[in-house]
């Protein structure tokens, strides 16, 4: 049986990368951080001056990932999810963080002004969760709290249990 593909998504700063890398360490899954992959392959179509960040070329990202996704056993980490083909993922985890924790994490990353406020609002309004619910079958989308190291341990346990049943 083919191993499942897992999508970890959520607002920047919720802990996707930490969790994804830890799952990969505990399994033989391949971990793909889409932001890092895009940076390495220069998979951009421009630069957003307002948010001071590159604009992802989603079509090139899909092309780059297509073959990697076929065999299963892939953990994908990205803060957006609506451009990935639905067929790629068996499980989608949306990490959620309380605003006080998230604000501090983003501020420590150097986020400020509109970029900081928009990301906090994104979390308040459950934007990524709603995006996941409208992009994938409801039964494969799970929300996980990601505030503390204890949350991460619980999330790891839960993800390991769920992925083994898929």
What lies within 8 Å, CB to CB, of 8 at 6+ separation is 16, 19, 20, 75, 76, 77, 78, 93, 95
Write the DSSP string, 58-127: HHHHHHHHHHHHTTS-EEEE-S--TTS-GGG-SEEEEEE--HHHHHHHHHHTT--HHHHHHHHHHHHTTH
- Say how far apart CA 44 and CA 56 lie, in whole Å: 5
Q: What tokens appear for 41 in the block? A: 């392959």
What lies within 8 Å, CB to CB, of 84 at 6+ separation is 7, 62, 76, 78, 135
Model pLDDT, residue 1:
58
Residue 10: how many CB atoms within 10 A of its CB? 29
Nearest to 45 by CA among 83, 86, 6, 88: 83
Model pLDDT, residue 164:
85
Question: What does DSSP say about strands 74-77 and 6-9: parallel, antiparallel, or unpaired?
Answer: parallel
Nearest to 96 by CA among 158, 144, 154, 157: 144
Residue 42: how many CB atoms within 10 A of its CB? 9
Model pLDDT, residue 20:
98
pTM, full prediction:
0.96
How do the pLDDT tens digits run along the chain, 166 residues long?
A: 589 999 999 999 999 999 999 999 999 999 999 999 999 999 999 999 999 899 999 999 999 999 999 999 999 999 999 999 999 999 999 999 999 999 999 999 999 999 999 999 999 999 999 999 999 999 999 999 999 999 999 999 999 998 888 8
- Whole-number Cα distances in Å, 25 to 7, 11, 36, 47: 16, 23, 18, 33
Q: What tokens appear for 124 in the block? A: 């308040």
């Amino acid at each position: 049986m083919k191993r499942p593909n897992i999508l970890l998504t959520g607002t920047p700063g919720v802990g996707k990368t930490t969790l994804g890398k830890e799952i990969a360490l505990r399994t033989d899954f391949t971990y793909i951080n889409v932001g890092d992959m895009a940076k390495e392959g220069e998979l951009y179509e421009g630069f957003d001056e307002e948010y001071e960040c590159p604009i992802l070329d989603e079509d090139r990202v899909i092309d780059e990932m297509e073959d990697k996704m076929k065999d299963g056993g892939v953990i994908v980490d990205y803060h957006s999810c609506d451009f990935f083909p639905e067929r790629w993922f068996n499980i989608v985890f949306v990490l959620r963080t309380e605003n006080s924790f998230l604000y501090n994490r983003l501020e420590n990353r150097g986020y400020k002004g509109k970029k900081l406020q928009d990301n906090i609002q994104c979390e308040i309004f459950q934007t990524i969760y709603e995006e996941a619910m409208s992009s994938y079958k409801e039964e494969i989308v799970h929300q996980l709290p990601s505030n503390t190291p204890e949350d991460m341990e619980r999330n790891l346990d839960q993800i390991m249990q769920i992925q083994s049943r898929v």
